[in-house]
Amino acid sequence: DTGVSQNPRHKITKRGQNVTFRCDPISEHNRLYWYRQTLGQGPEFLTYFQNEAQLEKSRLLSDRFSAERPKGSFSTLEIQRTEQGDSAMYLCASSPLGGAQETQYFGPGTRLLVL
């Protein structure tokens, strides 16, 4: 069991640039979630995939954010035209289909700093 992995672990970019993060869930997990977390706050839901289908997306998510899970395995989160307010930790989590969705296994996160 290798757990959920995320790459890169850290990303520094300039405002206006595009960034892409990758998440590799636990291999048998069909459910995949993306969250954003800022200092002193809990994870904020961004989007949810069941296999390759994106079933829910936060209304707080602007159209600069897009996520994919093309083969139902790894997922990518892209932020276009980054803004300083996008600076945060981006967390990915997975859980197995058939288990409680509340039991989510988180990756180590990608820390984004937008200068």
| Contact set with another protein (CB under 8 A) | 33, 40-45, 48, 50, 55-56, 58, 91, 93, 100-109
CB of 31 to another protein, least distance (A): 8
In the complex, what is the shortest distance from the CB of residue 10 to another protein, in angstroms, rounded to a whole number? 12
Structure tokens of 100? 């409680």
When the beta carbons of 19 and 93 are compared against another protein, the nearer one is 93
Cα separation of 83 and 68, whole Å?
Answer: 21
> Which of 91, 85, 103, 37 is CA-nearest to residue 67?
91
Q: How far is the CB of 50 from another protein (least distance, A)?
A: 8
Task: Report the chain's terminal Cα–Cα distance, integer Å.
Answer: 36
Which CB atom, from 18 or from 103, has the smaller least distance to another protein?
A: 103
Minimal distance, residue 91 CB to another protein, in Å: 7
- From the list 58, 57, 59, 64, the residue with the least C-alpha distance to 17 is 64
Cα–Cα distance between 67 and 54 in angstroms, integer? 8
Taking the least distance from each CB to another protein, the nearer of 74 and 105 is: 105
